[in-house]
Chain A
Amino acid sequence: MGKGKYEESSSDEEVNSSSDVVEASSDEEVESSSDEVEALSDDVESSEDESSSDNEKVEESDSSEDEVAPRNTVGDIPLVEWHKDEEHIGYDIKGRKIKKQPRKDKLASFIEGADDPKNWRKIYDEYNDEEIELTKDEIKIIQRVISGRTPHAEVNPYEDYVDWFEYEDKGHPLSNAPEPKRRFIPSKWEQKRVANLVRKIRAGLIKVSDQNKEEEHNVYSLWTDDTDSVENKKRGGYVPAPKPKLPGHEEAYNPPVEYIPTAEEINSYELMYEEDRPKFIPRRYLNYRSVPAYDKGVKESFDRCLDQYLCPRTRKKRINIDPESLKPKLPSRKDLRPYPTTCYLEYRGHMGPVNCISVDPSGQWLASGSTDGTARVWEIETGRCLKIWEVGEVARQICWNPSPDRPILAVVLEYDVLLLNSGMGDIDIQTKMKELLHISEPGATEDAGDSKSAVTWIQHEKHDGIRMKHFKAVSSIEWHFKGDYFTTVVPSGDSKAILLHQLSKKHSETPFRKLGIPVTAVFHPSKKKFFVATKKFVHVYDLSKVEKIQKLETGVREISSISIHPGGENIIVGSKEGKMCWFDLELSTRPYKTLKVHSKDITRVTFHRTYPLFASASDDCTAYVFHSTVYSDLNQNPLIVPLEILRGHKPEHGRGVLDCKYHPRQPWLFTAGADSIIKLYCH
């Protein structure tokens, strides 16, 4: 093959010829071909020389000379556009311009075409600016290519098999065995299986889904860092080593001037701590050649390796939560108005710490008891002291009778409870009160049997009231809401600790068995229930049956006071460690909420009778005002919002605010301080 073939198929297309060249290289005549190729190249050169010498001749040559390198050497440029207005169409290999042929006008070319029967075989070669007439063979090749056959009719695609190898059974097929029958018969098992599948698909047992198609599109990025991928996280987290910092401009051999520290700066580095000192000080070198070897290079790479090896790169589970979002959504304080905020009135006059205050049910008068041995009644509106009783002992508790037509004050002294006529109300009420507070014979309690030793009712001559002598110190007193019964608590361990008294009959009894040392006791505001607070628990009693219903576990060290929500289903408990517990009796026997607000003992917690407010007073000289909405819907828990910290009292002997009470009708809070002042905070 080689040159001979080359010459034979000179009219062939270039594609074909190149394939022939490849073929030639794979031939056995490889050795000889190299010489021939050289000869060929010489031949080409010589022909080019020829073509360059007689340019005019070449122009007239037919397309069979395609193999000759193209005359025009301008390359693959948009000829029509660039040489539209030029005289030439390019340059030949010697750099001379190739002139454009004179353009025929359309009419002449048409007439010429109509006359010439070979015109349909002519095509215009734009690159060389010439018309080429295709030969019949070429037309045939084109037709064959168009019809999808091999270009040359003489090429046989199905040539006979030539067995190049030598083996025994040469001359026979690979095996002489006859074709097995299964090759011709469809598989029975396959058929069964297909039938089975078809049946299942019809029955809906197998669902043909498009999932398989989607899986085909499961593309993944080959080059991305997959440390954050789900797969990696599932496998337990490969953590890539942190990447070292890339060198910057300052590490260049000739960095810009602004990177180079001055001598002062270098000196100041010396004063720094080892850790703070910069690791690298930029320097200038004249050329790259003079840059010395980096002396810390080995150490640093060793350190880095050590780092990567020893550093425990485990993934820490960290939850990224905005702390603000964890706060409960509370309504704005502005929406919860009115509530007490500012102190406008002060009630001055007591000479010692004011232990207790109480507001009369109409909201006109305020009663207070103090360590200075007096009980006083104040006019709320003006702050005037109206009445003073010299009781002679420390008044520990004071309590107005909640009934408006019984303006009686109960004052707790050390062992005694005084029932005093406050002197308010009109003449009818006054005469009734005088009757009520009169004991004809001191032995009225004799029929009480057991309680005889517990309480004695005596007429108090000096203040025109009743004196009830208890066998021990009394700690608290609370009226029943109807104003006839009241309870006193004597903190002792026996059954006589809680006493119930009836004012109209001047009668006392002790209905409860012993239950630790009670601290305080209160009546339910509407039902026949009774709450007794011991140091750690609150016991709820049914008064009609005299039996325990509930026992509330407060979880505090020592209860100091409790208050019942006017609805009766919620209570708050204040403790001596500054904690306040809110109990929802319907919900649980454990606190619904425990509020740690005060830094010292809570002295009093109290609910407002009509507004959704409660308050706590403490020895840290503050009183807190809270909002509390109790919903009638049992599914909704009470809403508690702290509203205001009321300050203003001064500490006295380590004690602060000793009592706080709400005004029965206004959103006002009274606080009694150890500084012997009572303050009124208004909205």
Chain B
Amino acid sequence: MEPNGSGSDASRQVQARFVTRLPPPLRVPPASMAVPSHLTRFGLSDIVNLLLKNSDPDHENQPFDFLIDGELVRMQLDEFLIAKGISAEKVLELEYVKAVAPRKQEDPRPHDDWVSAVDGSNSSFILTGCYDTFVRIWKSGDVSECTHVLEGHTGAITSAKFIDIRGVENEQNFHLVTGSKDRLLRLWKCDAAKRRGDPIRVGAYKILAGHTSSVQSVSVNPSREMICSGSWDCSIKLWDVKESEEDGDGTTISLKKRKVNSKTKESVDARLEGAATSTLVGHTQCVSVATWPDPDVLYSASWDHSVRQWDVPSGKETWTMVCGKALNCLDIGGEGSALVAAGGSDPVLRIWDPRKPGSLAPIFQYSSHSSWISACKWHPRSWFHLLSASYDGKVMLWDLRTAWPLAVMESHQDKVLCADWWKDDSVVSGGADSKLCITSGIEIQ
């Protein structure tokens, strides 16, 4: 029964029962058994695989992770029990889940310059922004295919987001927004239907001007009608993109025609420019991130060391938290989509719970990185998983139930500037080595 049980060590055993919420083929009989207490999760994983093989000879070995009282086992079983003060007399209930680890590294998508923005919210396309001022759309698939190149910005792209995608498989219409260091946001439309060999070159149908300094981040609200942007001019601006969408179609095409035919750009610009609907003022330094997870609530992080929560209808701050470090990234997610994860000018990824009254101390701190954290993202469906990217060239996967990273992805040779989840089981990240790396096969239930 035990794969590496030997001699005197085997004498110390704990009674354990394996339970799981996985579907039936991966369930083991619920009887309790004696397990050597010196086993780590790998040994436990072997036991479970062996049990599964007993019932189903076709079972393929796969790693599992084990939870005791909602905490991941990351040391020897006996050490864990002592550390947590759990009695070894009782029957231990070991819940096993599939281990979260990247299984496949896809070919990196090469860029001409640093990849500074990535969006993986669409399951079949990836949006990347680059320091060469172009935004690219990549189609999922084994071959690195760039389907569209959006050109028009005059500065490095800092942020790019899908607003929404309409239509069915071959007739998809993208609607997207990008922010750049040239102080402008651009709205783009393109459709995926037209496929030719070369990437399609697209121009913006609308330019949103108003920021007086580099735009650092762009975010779309849940109803997909508004966007917000944070900038180096210390302000957050909200833009309405719904109406522009209505008169959108014709303009895009006409712009494209005009761009091809004649470069009378100035006259076009005047018609195409949009203005901000409102401006949220309060930060004293560069607003590095603004996210809009809830229709009425907007979060922002800034270099003035604060995370602020804004009430969108009134435009007022409702919650301010000062963390002491300049912040570069922020994401809302986790339990009840209420936890705030943020990273910045130090190697610590911190997670706050704004619902907790009276305390502004982070509830979790993860400090395995060795340089600034450039991106952090909650898994879109899991409450426990999030990823972080750092200037030390690593992307790490975290589970709130343990203090160690689940996985460390060292696919970049230089700083990682942006990262995002893609298709729920992959991580896309772009860095200063001009590559978009895709790590897939991360199974998160």
Please report A residues at the B interface, Cβ cutoff 8 Å.
337-338, 342, 344-345, 362-364, 381-384, 426, 665-666, 668, 682-683
Contact = CB atoms under 8 A, between A and B. Distances in A.
B222 interface: no
A683 B328 contact: no
9 A-B pairs with the lowest CB-CB distances in the bound complex, closest first: A344-B371, A682-B345, A344-B372, A666-B326, A665-B285, A364-B232, A426-B183, A426-B212, A682-B346
Given A345-B371, A665-B303, A363 B285 contact: yes
Nearest to B345: A682
A668 B372 CA distance: 13
Contacts of A383: 391, 415, 432
Nearest to B234: A362
Interface string B417-439: 10000000000000010000000
B14 interface: no
Contacts of A381: 328
B417 A382 contact: yes
Nearest to B325: A683
Interface string B212-224: 1110000000000
Contact of A364 (B213, B372, B391): B213
Interface in B101-117: 114, 116
Nearest to B284: A665
A666 B328 CA distance: 14
Interface of B: 114, 116, 131, 156, 183, 212-214, 232, 285-286, 303-304, 324-326, 328, 345-347, 371-372, 391, 415, 417, 432
Contact of B303 (A345, A426, A666, A683): A666
Contacts of A666: 303, 326, 345
Contacts of B326: 666, 682
B42 to A, nearest CB: 34
B282 to A, nearest CB: 16
27 contacts: A338-B324, A342-B346, A344-B345, A344-B346, A344-B371, A344-B391, A345-B371, A345-B372, A362-B213, A362-B232, A364-B213, A382-B114, A382-B116, A382-B415, A382-B417, A382-B432, A383-B391, A384-B131, A384-B156, A665-B285, A665-B303, A666-B326, A666-B345, A682-B346, A682-B372, A683-B324, A683-B325
Contacts of B213: 362, 364
A377 to B, nearest CB: 13
A345 B286 CA distance: 19
Contacts of B345: 344, 666, 668, 682-683
A263 B415 CA distance: 76
A342 to B, nearest CB: 8
Residue in A382, A426, A666 with the greatest tally of chain B CB atoms within 10 Å:
A382
Contacts of B286: 363-364
A237 B347 CA distance: 67
Given A344-B372, A682-B372, 16 more contacts: A337-B324, A344-B371, A345-B372, A363-B303, A364-B213, A364-B214, A381-B328, A382-B116, A426-B212, A665-B304, A666-B303, A666-B326, A682-B326, A682-B346, A683-B324, A683-B325
Nearest to B370: A344
A312 to B, nearest CB: 64
B260 to A, nearest CB: 25
A678 to B, nearest CB: 15
Contacts of B324: 337-338, 683
A384 B116 CA distance: 11
Contacts of B156: 384
B368 to A, nearest CB: 15
Contacts of A382: 114, 116, 415, 417, 432
A383 B372 CA distance: 12
Contacts of A342: 346
Contacts of B346: 342, 344, 682-683
Nearest to A666: B326
A668 B285 CA distance: 15
Contacts of B325: 683
Nearest to B216: A381
Nearest to B285: A665
A384 B157 CA distance: 13
Nearest to B155: A386
Contacts of A384: 114, 131, 156, 432
B413 to A, nearest CB: 14
Contacts of B285: 363, 665
A261 to B, nearest CB: 52
Contacts of A683: 324-325, 345-346
Residue in A344, A345, A364 with the greatest tally of chain B CB atoms within 10 Å:
A344
A158 to B, nearest CB: 105
A382 B375 CA distance: 13
A318 B346 CA distance: 52
Residue in A337, A342, A362, A381 with the greatest tally of chain B CB atoms within 10 Å:
A381
B239 to A, nearest CB: 18
Contacts of A363: 285-286, 303
A363 B213 CA distance: 12
Given A666-B303, A683-B325, A345 B391 contact: yes
A26 B286 CA distance: 123
A383 B114 CA distance: 11
Contacts of B114: 382, 384
A576 to B, nearest CB: 34
Nearest to A338: B324
A382 B115 CA distance: 12
A63 to B, nearest CB: 95
A183 B391 CA distance: 118
A382 to B, nearest CB: 7
A384 B158 CA distance: 13
Contacts of B372: 344-345, 682
A666 B432 CA distance: 24
A669 to B, nearest CB: 13
Nearest to A383: B415
A239 to B, nearest CB: 62
A381 B181 CA distance: 12
Contacts of A665: 285, 303-304
A346 to B, nearest CB: 10
Nearest to B326: A666
A104 B183 CA distance: 134
Contacts of A337: 324
A665 B417 CA distance: 23
Contacts of A345: 371-372, 391
A337 B325 CA distance: 11
Nearest to B131: A384
Contacts of B212: 426
Nearest to B417: A382
Nearest to A337: B324
B203 to A, nearest CB: 20
Contacts of A668: 345
A383 B415 CA distance: 10
A213 to B, nearest CB: 69
Contacts of B183: 426
Contacts of B328: 381
A668 B346 CA distance: 12
Nearest to A342: B346
A354 B428 CA distance: 36
A338 B346 CA distance: 12
A665 B303 CA distance: 9
A366 to B, nearest CB: 14
A382 B114 CA distance: 10
A569 B111 CA distance: 53
A383 B431 CA distance: 12
A337 to B, nearest CB: 8
B369 to A, nearest CB: 10
A668 B326 CA distance: 10
Contacts of A364: 213-214, 232, 286
B200 to A, nearest CB: 28
A217 to B, nearest CB: 67
B329 to A, nearest CB: 12
A61 to B, nearest CB: 99
